Structures are given as structure tokens and as C-alpha cells.
Amino acid sequence: MKILVCISNVPDTTTKITFTNDNTEFNTAGVQYIVNPYDEIALSKAIELSEGGKGTVTVINVGEASNDPTIRKALAIGADDAVRVNAAPRDAYFVAKQIAEYAKDKDFEIILTGRESIDYNGNQVAAMIGEFLDIPSISIIKKLEINGDAATIEREIEGGKEVLTVNGQFVASCAEGVAEPKIPNMRGIMSARSKPLVVIDAVEIEAVSKVSKYETPAPRGNVKLVQADQSEQLISLLHSEAKVI
């Protein structure tokens, strides 16, 4: 079984988000980059499925050479090899197109992504790859089991879950619960250095969107404290002042 896992390079979860150049650019100064946490879940699931010689896991990233440490981290976690499409990612449409172009003649049986990247929160790449390749896409999955040719998948829906099956090739975006994120061990870190990382060129595609500016949320006013022995006062404040109950 050949599995492709899409890896995004994102600011560490503790990063304070700031912008430069009149709020038109993300301020990368001092920012630590990591494998997108949901992609780690997808990667861990792929490794589980391929363990014991049952398959191979390739990771793919669309990005510039500065992303290589993140890709090496994915190799250290246990991917077999890696591909980097050498281009600055413009938007999800661009990224998905690059990945679909790479994957179209490589017969991967499963393509996995994280449910979203924690920078642009897109939820877009998996379903766009599905459309570019004309294969089923299942978004925000919570469980994945493979039996022979068929996969059984649990997907989150409002207030519940949906269980579905799919035969043949598919792409899915993984949420919490699909697998426990794996932590690289010493052997993984050592072997990651010698695993293949192939760099390929991007294909041209017309741009469909661009971020023109960023904003940060308005700061909140000071907290209004209610004494613990008068906590019932909170209910009346929420009713008459905040008007939310």
C-alpha cells in the first residue's frame, strides 16, 4: 500500500501572531516552525497502516528550502521518503494543484492530510486534491480502518458522526482521534538524514486568491469581577448587561 501524506510547515502553537509592512505580511522574526499538528496525526496513521512491510509512506510539502527541517522531522517520525515542490505556497488551490500533479501518475492508494493547517485554517487541500484527481474526498475524519480494498471511515458531523465506506483510491483529512501523534526516537532522527528528499519544480497555475491584509482581534475591555459569594449576580449581568441569556 502506497500512502501519500501532505505536510504543512506552520508556526509553533505558542507563537504570538504579529504582522509587518503595514499589516500585509506575517512577521516570521523569531518564529519556530513545526509540522502542522493535524498532519502529524495523518502521518502517524499512515505509518501505522504501513508498519510491518505493509506499505510505504511518502510525505509531500509545497514550499521553499527553508521548510526542509520540518520535512526532516516528518522523516524522523517514520516516513520513508519525501518530496518538496519548490515554490512559495500561494493559497490552498495552488498547493492542492501541485500535490495532485505529483500524485496523478504514482498510484497512491491513500492520500492523507490534516483537517486544516493551524495558520490559514483552510480545510481545503484534501477536498481540492480529490477534485483535481477526481477521486472521493472525506473531510474531518475521526477514524480510519482498512480491510482489503475497502476503507471504513468515521466522519464528524454536527452533533454526531457518520460512518461510511469507500473502495479504491481516496483522500481524507484527519482530525484528533485518527491516531496518536508519534514522537521521533533517536534512530528515527539519525536515519532521517539519509532518507531521500526529492525537490521538484512547481507547475504554473492561474492565481485565484491572495491575502491583501491582516488584522488582529480588537483587545477586550477589562474583566469585570464578581465576588465568589455573590456569584448569582453573574446571571443577572449576563441577562441585563451582556444580553446573552
Partner 1 sequence: MSVLVYVEQAEGKFKKSVFEAVSYAKAIADQSSTNLTAISIGDVAESELNELGKYGASKVLTVNVEQLKTFVNQAYASIIAAAAEKESADVVVLSNSFSGKGLAPRIAVKLKAGLADGAVELPSTDGKFSIKKTAFSGKAFAITELTSANKVIALNPNAFGVKENNTDVAIENFTADIKQSDLGTVIKEIVRATDKVSLPDAELVVSAGRGLKGPENWGMIEELANLLGAATACSKPVSDADWRPHSEHVGQTGISISPNLYIAIGISGAIQHLAGVSSSKVIVVINKDAEAPFFKVADYGIVGDAFEIVPKLIEALKAHKA
Any contact of residue 194 with partner 1 (CB under 8 A)? no
Any contact of residue 168 with partner 1 (CB under 8 A)? yes
Q: Which of ligand FAD, partner 1, none interacts with 184 (beta carbon under 5 to 8 A by kind)?
A: none
Residue type, 37: P
| Residue 229 CA: distances (Å) to CA of 162, 223, 233, 234, 236 | 45, 18, 9, 11, 15
Any contact of residue 242 with partner 1 (CB under 8 A)? yes
Hey, which residues between 201 and 230 contact partner 1 (CB under 8 A)?
Answer: 206-217, 220-221, 223-228
Residue of the chain from 21, 159, 187, 201 that contacts partner 1 (CB under 8 A): 159
Residue of the chain from 85, 95, 96, 103 that contacts partner 1 (CB under 8 A): 96
Burial class (CB in 10 A: 0-12, 13-18, 19+), 51: exposed
State the chain's maximal CA–CA distance in angstroms.
68
Instruction: Quickly list DSSP for 163-176.
Output: EEEEES-EEEEE-T
Nearer to ligand FAD, 73 or 84 (CB): 73
Q: DSSP secondary-structure letter at 195?
A: S
Nearer to ligand FAD, 13 or 185 (CB): 13
Any contact of residue 240 with partner 1 (CB under 8 A)? no
- Hey, what's the cell of 208? 485565484
Nearer to ligand FAD, 37 or 188 (CB): 37
Interacting residue ranges for ligand FAD, rule: CB under 6 A: 13, 37
